[in-house]
Chains A and B, each alone.
Chain A
Amino acid sequence: MSSLSLSEKEAIILENDSDPRRILNMLIAIQYASEEGFIDEETAKLVADRLHLSEARVYEILSFYAILKTEPQAKYVLKICNSTPCLFTGGEMLSEVLEMILEVPADQPTPDGLFMYHSIPCIGACDQGPVIKIKDTVFGELTEAKVYQLIDDLKCGCYQEL
């Protein structure tokens, strides 16, 4: 399932001193490092166990915070900013263009498992909108043509680090 080994996950938990206050730091770090970009049951159990929390508590947290996912994600998850500064400076077309290129609705992975897209609120790059964020990388001042190019580039493996 998840690409992290047990010891790698444990290392992340220890880095955060097994401190329950830093549960979000841990869950995000584990999720970002995992191949499928989500917290699977095994991981949730592990975190609950190491932090002396009930599994239900961990799941409550997983379902409350938007960044955390409990379902496998595509390799590249394109997060479109849909807050008003971006939306009214050209952002309205982003999801339409992506739907056209990828031929799937929002939140559904493409059949090859490569792409997925959905909207999120402002990520603090409003002076460069409209923007798409993939993991920790932001692509700004997007136009329709640039979105086509971005998808092509991603397919060609231009962004190894993502």
Chain B
Amino acid sequence: MIERNKPVLLARINKMKQVTDVEEYQKYNGFSGLLEAIKMEKERILDELDLAHLRGRGGAAFPLGKKWRHLYGAKGDTKYIVCNADEGEPGTFKDKALLEQDPLSVIEGMVIAGYLFSAKAGYIYIRGEYRRIQKIFQEALDNAEKAGFLGENIVGIQGFNYTITIISGAGAYVCGENSALLNSIEGKTGRPRVKPPHLADVGLYLQPTLVNNVESFASIPVILREGGQAYRDLGTEDGGGTKLICLSGHVKNRGLYEVNLGTPLQEILYSEEYGGGTATGRPLKFIHFGGQSGPIGAVENLDDCIYSYEGLWDNDLSIGSGAIVVMDDQVSIVDYLVNVAAFFAHESCGKCTPCRLGTTRILELLTKFNTQTAVSGDLERLRKMLTHVTNLSACGLGQSVANPMRSGLTYFPKEFEAGIREAVAPIKGGFW
């Protein structure tokens, strides 16, 4: 039974003595999601996923049930399963926890996908900075194979043959974009592809491909074990389940937590159980949600905000990856955004001009505001540049760069105005 306010995804963590050990994993409900799944009609699996209303945990928040149904209906005999474990989103460290401390849960989710789509091959793309975790994960894969949960005739089903291969990233943020990630798996440089076509139709090696995030895959066994409705009841109408959140910045208790979707934001920020309030003694000023391209909210506007998909959308915010970066009132929003812009200027893959040049222009303009050397007209220039980059960039990276800057302009306009150098004014009055 799963209950509210109890860990679901983190339930096994710190309990298992050997995290890669299949028997240990099974002691705590491990592989029972898969064993339930193989008893069901495949359509029924999809129904449960729809009912659960799990939104993709990588950041895009797309309903997972719909994505899986799309792939299920896609034409093609060879379908690939890919797990995006390229966690490189600043302020995010939740996939790392699952990969490192409960790798078999991710594997179980991927095996269920393999079963549903009759896939032969799954890939997990783990970022290069997580090299040690790649070793742990490989051990978990080997153990799962020995125990009959991977390899040939899995769980005794004739012809259910499925393997998972680890592919290492090597330090390119853009590879977190799903199509870039597929290019990288194919051994090419990890630049995004032009979409459409949808990856569910034309993905890895041009075959229909499912790409989901680590946390999404780890949630699948829970849904099939407990039922879609029970899972949905953990969250809210617009998004079921629990969410892993990563608190960082100026809160006292930085770290990884699991919350029910629908938890009040104030509780997350201030209760001792979670953030514990300010770490610096200064009031908290703003929160950057969901990663570098996520929107920013002013703490003073968020008294009644609920941490759920719809709760954040109502405030022009979004959950994204689950990152919650909190800054106190000594941080200037402009200074903060300069560093966000520098990140994007550095990580733009350079494939399309609006993003390559635009991110650099945004950085230059913000730097002017930050050094009080902006001139009147720069505000308008910045706004235009943000619109260009959003509308003309080819992939999600470029298209979302402007989000935090726009929030900054909306909630803290004075700080931008303070960066504009006063015009040289003529002396008023008198005749010369």
Contacts and interface: CB of A to CB of B under 8 A. Distances in A.
B57 interface: no
B168 A64 contact: no
A126 B131 contact: no
Contacts of B331: 88
20 contacts: A21-B185, A22-B167, A24-B169, A25-B167, A28-B128, A60-B189, A66-B171, A66-B172, A82-B342, A84-B90, A88-B250, A88-B331, A88-B336, A121-B90, A122-B90, A126-B90, A126-B92, A127-B246, A129-B248, A133-B129
Given A121-B90, A121-B173, A85 B248 contact: yes
B76 to A, nearest CB: 20
A21 B96 CA distance: 23
Interface in A120-137: 120-129, 133, 136
Interface string A114-152: 000000111111111100010010000000000000000
Contacts of A24: 128, 167-170, 184
Contacts of B93: 124-127
Given A28-B131, A121-B346, A127-B93, A87 B184 contact: no
Given A20-B187, A21-B187, A124 B92 contact: yes
B186 interface: yes
A65 B170 contact: yes
Contact of A25 (B88, B89, B166, B346): B166
B88 A64 contact: no
Residue among A28, A64, A120, A123 with the highest chain B CB neighbour number at 10 A: A64
Interface string A53-85: 100000011001111100000000000001111
A23 interface: yes
B259 interface: no
Interface in A22-62: 22-25, 27-28, 32, 53, 60-61
Nearest to B186: A21
Contact of A83 (B129, B187, B343): B343
B185 A127 contact: no
A89 interface: yes
Contacts of B169: 24, 65
B412 interface: no
Contacts of A20: 187
A82 to B, nearest CB: 8
B121 to A, nearest CB: 10
B182 to A, nearest CB: 11
Given A60-B189, A66-B171, A85-B248, A127 B255 contact: yes
A53 B288 CA distance: 43
A66 B343 CA distance: 13
B128 A67 contact: yes
Interface in B243-258: 246-250, 254-256
B10 interface: no
A122 B170 contact: no
Contacts of A122: 88-92
Given A84-B288, A121-B88, A68 B132 contact: no
A126 B292 CA distance: 13
Interface string B320-340: 000101010001000010011
Contact of A85 (B87, B190, B325): B325
Residue of A22, A28, A85 ringed by the most chain B CB atoms within 10 A: A85
A23 B249 CA distance: 36
A49 to B, nearest CB: 15
B90 A120 contact: no
Nearest to B327: A88
A21 B170 contact: no
A85 B171 contact: no
Contacts of A124: 87, 92-93, 96, 129-130
A64 B190 contact: yes
A145 B130 CA distance: 28
Given A83-B292, A89-B249, A64 B189 contact: yes
Given A24-B184, A84-B292, A66 B131 contact: no
A133 B130 CA distance: 12
Interface in A83-102: 83-85, 87-89
Interface in B324-378: 325, 327, 331, 336, 339-340, 342-343, 346-347
Contacts of B391: none
A61 B186 CA distance: 12
Contacts of A60: 189
Given A85-B249, A88-B336, A61 B90 contact: no
Contact of A84 (B91, B165, B167, B190): B91
Interface in B105-160: 123, 128-132, 134
Q: Closest 5 interchain pairs by CB?
A: A65-B170, A83-B90, A66-B171, A67-B171, A122-B90
A98 to B, nearest CB: 18
Given A21-B167, A27-B170, A32-B131, A126 B187 contact: no
